[in-house]
Amino acid sequence: MKIGILCSASLNKFNFEALSHIVIKHKAQGVCCFIDTRPGKTDFERFMENARERHGFYVLIMSAYKLLNKKFKKIDIKSYCQSRDLCFFETNDPYSPELTEVIKGQKIDILVHLSGFDSVIKKPLLEATPLGVLGYHHGDMREYRGQPPAFWELFYGESSVVTTILKLNEWEHTGMLVAERQTMIKKSDSLLTLRKRVFASTTDMMAQAIEKFRDDNFNPSVPDLYGTLYAYPTIWEWIVLQYKIVTRRLKQKLSHLPAGSLRTFGLPVVRFWQR
Residue type, 264: T
Kindly list the structural domains of the chain, giving each domain's residue range(s) and its CATH number in brackets, ordered by start: 3-42+73-228 (3.40.50.170)
pTM of the model: 0.85
- Looking at residue 218, its pLDDT comes to 93
Q: What are the helix and strand counts (H, E) for the chain?
A: 11, 11
What phi-psi label fits residue 107: left (phi over 0), alpha (psi between -120 and 50 degrees) or beta?
A: left
Q: Which pairing describes strands 228-230 and 160-168: parallel, antiparallel, or unpaired?
A: unpaired
pLDDT in tens, the chain (275 residues): 999 999 999 999 999 999 999 999 998 789 999 999 998 766 666 656 666 666 666 777 777 666 666 666 789 999 999 999 999 999 999 999 999 999 999 999 999 999 999 888 999 999 999 999 999 999 998 889 888 999 999 999 999 999 999 999 888 778 999 999 999 999 999 999 999 999 999 999 999 999 999 998 999 998 888 888 888 888 889 999 999 999 988 888 787 777 655 555 444 444 444 44
Candidates 106, 122, 99, 90; CA nearest to 31 is 106
- Looking at residue 265, its pLDDT comes to 46
- Looking at residue 137, its pLDDT comes to 94
Q: Which pairing describes strands 228-230 and 175-184: parallel, antiparallel, or unpaired?
A: unpaired
